[in-house]
Structure 1
Amino acid sequence: MTSLYIHVPFCLRKCPYCDFFSLPLNASQLEGFPQLVIAHLEQERHRDRWQGPFSTVFFGGGTPSLLPPRAVGLILQHADRLFGLSRDAEISLEANPGTVTAGKLLGYHGAGINRLSFGVQSLNDRSLARLGRIHSAAEARLAFRWARQAGFDNVGCDLIFALPDQPPKAPWPILNPSFSLARSIFPVTAWASSPKPPLPARWKRGTCNRRPRRSMPKVSCCCMND
């Protein structure tokens, strides 16, 4: 199986817990990004180091959902032309609920994306604010409804648990049937410290409480199906 990962580094705002590489959004750089990716794909095709067809393609970030659907479609067209895409290829895009609309998700589906991964992290507005997220819990729920209406059957939802000052059961309301997330996968990640992002650094200054590891729920992921 051959896979292609495309890192889209741009963010509207850097989340204080994140240590992935990202850059402040620059409109001209975002506009030129697809051509840079295509040029790199063509370079690798000429070097003959990559073997197609691709079984999976993943747009990660950063915030890939800042790319317009036409840009995503253009990248996929050239990836298919140069290396080929398997007929049943899983083509995923990470999305921030605060950067999508119903029309945009419909456009991604038409461009060839068949799996979405929403970076929800929490359905508690207070926790979202502390995490520096640009979306609300209501916007996350709305993004899921839009995704279903756009035709996406495969939708993931990233969650973070064991946040500072978070009750142990705080992540689980997202699994409530009222959220209507049948056939969705929930990667659930424990809050972890890193020396680089500013939010974990606040622990050292005593301005943010850290949950003791022994009090963390023991869970890696949850899955809901029809």
Structure 2
Amino acid sequence: MNMQSPSLLSDSEPLEALCRHHNVGKISLKVKPAESMPATVDLPVLRQRGRVPTHALLVHDTLPTNPDFQCTVVPVASFTFTQKFRRDVLGANSSIQTPPSPPHHQGGPMCITIPAIPLFVPHAPSIPLLLLYAQGLHPEPPSLGPYLLPLEAIEEFPSVATMAQVMAHICTDDQLKRYVSSNQGLWKNILALDPVDPKFVQLVQTAWNVTAEARRIRYRAGGRS
């Protein structure tokens, strides 16, 4: 049975939601091995009047020496970010509560220049999802669950054992591998950044426990996920 879950369809949706919340467009950034990480980035502003981010996180899970190295550029507002995570990611830059310069034109769309903070994490693709929900910036109603587990498994909550059985039964090997990679990576990111919201942390931990148990069930049944 094929499932339709946001986490299996697109990793870009949470990043797009973060960018819309912060009134900026999404950009890509590639850094050559011989180059250093930029100190600032220019982000396109969507609306002339509206909130804008104070910093951009340059998120990566490979070393800059990797020839395929690239960053996920994630906008953040320092006040909210520092309130929602215990890890001091911004460092001395956390004192910046407003963008250091107003939006400006560079011969094209209006842009804003903000400090860029390199952030090495265990799993870069799940960072936008983590920031979106740990900071409470998600659209209403909250819908984190379908990013983490198949809907059929969610319907069996709160029985972790039954949820895992259902997940192991309905997922293809490829789907289960992707859930394992995504949920394990998200959980490792939580351990690294230490968000303050206990309900969010508990939900992700439960999803990872379900996924890990589904993998064990599949392995015992003769699969190799």
Which bracket does the TM-score occupy, shorter chain normalised? under 0.3
Structure with a larger share of its residues in helix = 2
Q: TM-score, normalised by structure 1?
A: 0.25
Bigger relative CO (Cα 8 Å, ≥ 6 apart): 2
Structure with a larger share of its residues in strand = 1
